[in-house]
Amino acid sequence: MAVPEPSLGAADLARIDSQLAATDRLLEQNYPGDDGSRQPVHTVYVPADRFTPSLTADWGAQALTTAAAHGGLARLGALLGQDAELTAAVASRVEAKLGSEPIEDLRLDFEDGFGDRGDDAEDAAAVAAASAVASAVAAGSAPPFIGIRFKCFEAPTRARGLRTLDLFVSGLAAAGELPDGLVLTLPKVTTVAQVQAMEFAVSRLEELHSLPAGRLRFEVQVETPQLILGPDGTSPVAQLPHAVPGRISGLHYGTYDYSASLQISAEYQSMEHPVADFAKEVMQLAVAGTGIRLSDGSTNIIPVGDNVENAWQLHGRLVRRSLERGYYQGWDLHPAQLPSRFAATYAFYRQGLPAAAARLRNYVDRTEGGVMDEPATARALAAFVLRGVQCGAVGGEEVQALAGVGIPQLTGLAHPRLAHTISK
């Protein structure tokens, strides 16, 4: 049967293209999607002056010692509700992880974890931190992602925060190439203007140190209700990706500052309080499609003394809860939290792997099954499996056997915009 000519002509299509040109630019520039790079499963915070090139290995050793003193990683698996088969698969991987890469992302803290020690002490600590980080990177002992959190841009601490940022970045630049995984964290943000000021500061540092434009990206900590709901009734956090396109690498939720700002009593401040869930849902909506990553906060219940097993159970449950809600990163504050972080994370990916891989294989092979997955769901399935591989929970050979795809094809499925650069 002959196909009739369309009623809409070239002039009509040209007019529609013209009407949507701004939309096309917005989607292309402001919503590029995830770039496919690795996202760490956690961020560890330590006071800046406590960092040494051996800190990562020291934390791993302390984590393994704590686990051994409390029945081993198999006991931890049982505490987290894992069956014997899952426990065995997870425990071996967690043990290897704690021995080889116990910290994925490390933040040397010049804010709450450092306090006000006077300008001379903080100047010296900032210079020393840059030197120590450069030494650790050169020696291969630094975690894949590392950087600092400096003081916020509110008036009383603004100059101090900028000075520490300047001294640290300048010290790294003087030492040579900046670390690939360099991360800078701006805390207690309340307005878009503070983020724009941060963008100006890092742009100037790039100019002064002959760095490529856009090299210095930064995280924004969401710790104040003013960033979720502004005085005009809009959500400033939703404006951030578009106020400084390409500069923000992540939004990190601040559990305790945010809860305290809403007058939640200390006993009930938690990552799972309803006010926390609301803020984090707004954050998810604000950065969807922008490529900006999300991180949950921390629990201050630490596995020490007589409270190790109870704290592990709580931490493991909270880690799992965050993962199920699309928050693939969180904060850890103590070496003894590392076993429960990785045990809960690895179990999440390993438990979900068989079903995700089967659905992915059916999608790739165009095999009919009980679930008819659309391209968007296939992307989510591939991204889930890829995250499991990147953090060490799942092996590439397992993915090949179960899903029938190698890592390059898996990456292309998870991030279609990158597919043209990936050899299948």
**Domain edge (last residue) among 350, 369, 384:** 350
Strand partners, 218: 184, 248
Q: Are residues 340 and 281 in the same domain?
A: yes
CB atoms within 10 A of CB 330: 29
Distances from the Cα of 111 to the Cαs of 106, 294, 380, in angstroms?
A: 14, 20, 36
Which residue among 294, 317, 350 closes a domain? 350
Q: What's residue 368's pLDDT? A: 61
Name the residue among 336, 331, 340 with its Cα closest to residue 305: 336
Look at residue 220 and tell me if it is in a domain. yes
Helix (H) or strand (E) holding 362: helix 337-365
- 236 and 338 in a common domain: yes
- Half-sphere exposure of residue 181: CA atoms within 13 angstroms, side-chain side: 19
Residues 255 and 150 in one domain: yes
Do the domain assignments include residue 12? no
Indicate the Cα dihedral angle 253, 258, 259, 263, nearest 10°. Answer: -170
Whether 268 and 369 map to the same domain: the answer is no
DSSP structure string for 365-412: HT---SS---HHHHHHHHHHHHHHHHHTSS-HHHHHHHHS--HHHHHH
- Domain contains 174: yes
Q: Do residues 183 and 224 both lie within one domain?
A: yes
pLDDT (0 to 100) of residue 424: 39
Q: How far is CA 174 from CA 89, 139, 153, in A?
A: 45, 17, 25
Task: For residue 27, tell me if it sits in a domain.
Answer: no
Burial 67-80 (b: 16+ CB within 10 A, else e): beebeebbbbbebb
Structure tokens of 304?
């020490």
Residue 14 falls inside a structural domain = no
End-to-end CA distance of the chain: 39
Residues β-bridged to residue 257: none
- The answer to whether the beta carbons of residues 221 and 188 sit under 8 Å apart is yes
- For residue 379, what are the CA distances in angstroms to 88, 389, 415? 30, 15, 7
Beta-bridge partners for 222 = 253
Same domain? 48 vs 132: yes
What letter represents residue 72's amino acid? G
Three-class SS state of 251:
strand
pLDDT of residue 370: 53
Residue appearing with tokens 């070239």: 10
Residues 273 and 377 in one domain: no
Residue 19 within a domain? no
CA atoms within 13 A on the CB side of 326: 13
Do residues 87 and 77 make contact, with C-beta atoms less than 8 angstroms apart?
Answer: yes
Do 285 and 369 lie in a common domain? no
Which residue, among 282, 328, 417, 339, has the nearest Cα to 60 in the 3D structure? 339
Which segments of 313-379 are extended strands (E)?
330-332
What's the total number of domains in the chain?
2
The phi-psi region of residue 289 (left if phi > 0; otherwise alpha if psi is between -120 and 50; otherwise beta) is left
DSSP assignment letter at 12: H
Q: Report the CATH number that the domain containing residue 284 is assigned in CATH.
A: 3.20.20.60
Q: Are residues 172 and 182 in contact, defined by beta-carbon separation less than 8 angstroms? A: yes
Are 100 and 185 in the same domain? yes
What three-state secondary structure class fits 145? strand
User: Domain limits at 109?
Assistant: 42-350
Write down the pLDDT at residue 371: 57
**Residue 37 in domain:** no
For residues 221 and 295, the answer to whether their CB atoms sit within 8 Å is no
CA–CA separation, 209 and 216 (whole Å) = 11
Residue 374: CB partners within 8 Å, gap ≥ 6?
Answer: none
For residues 374 and 388, state if they share a domain: yes
Domain boundary among 321, 350, 379: 350
Task: Give the CB-side neighbour count of residue 172, counting CA atoms within 13 A.
Answer: 28
Block means of pLDDT (10 residues each) for the chain, length 424 residues? 87 96 95 93 97 97 97 96 96 97 98 96 98 96 98 98 98 95 98 98 98 97 97 97 96 97 96 98 97 96 95 98 98 98 98 95 76 80 96 96 93 78 43
**Is 361 found in the same domain as 339?**
no
In a domain? residue 133: yes
Do both 408 and 266 map to the same domain? no
DSSP 187-208: -S--SHHHHHHHHHHHHHHHHH
Query: How confident is the model at residue 374, as a pLDDT?
Result: 81
For residues 417 and 424, give the distance between their C-alpha atoms in angstroms, rounded to a whole number: 14
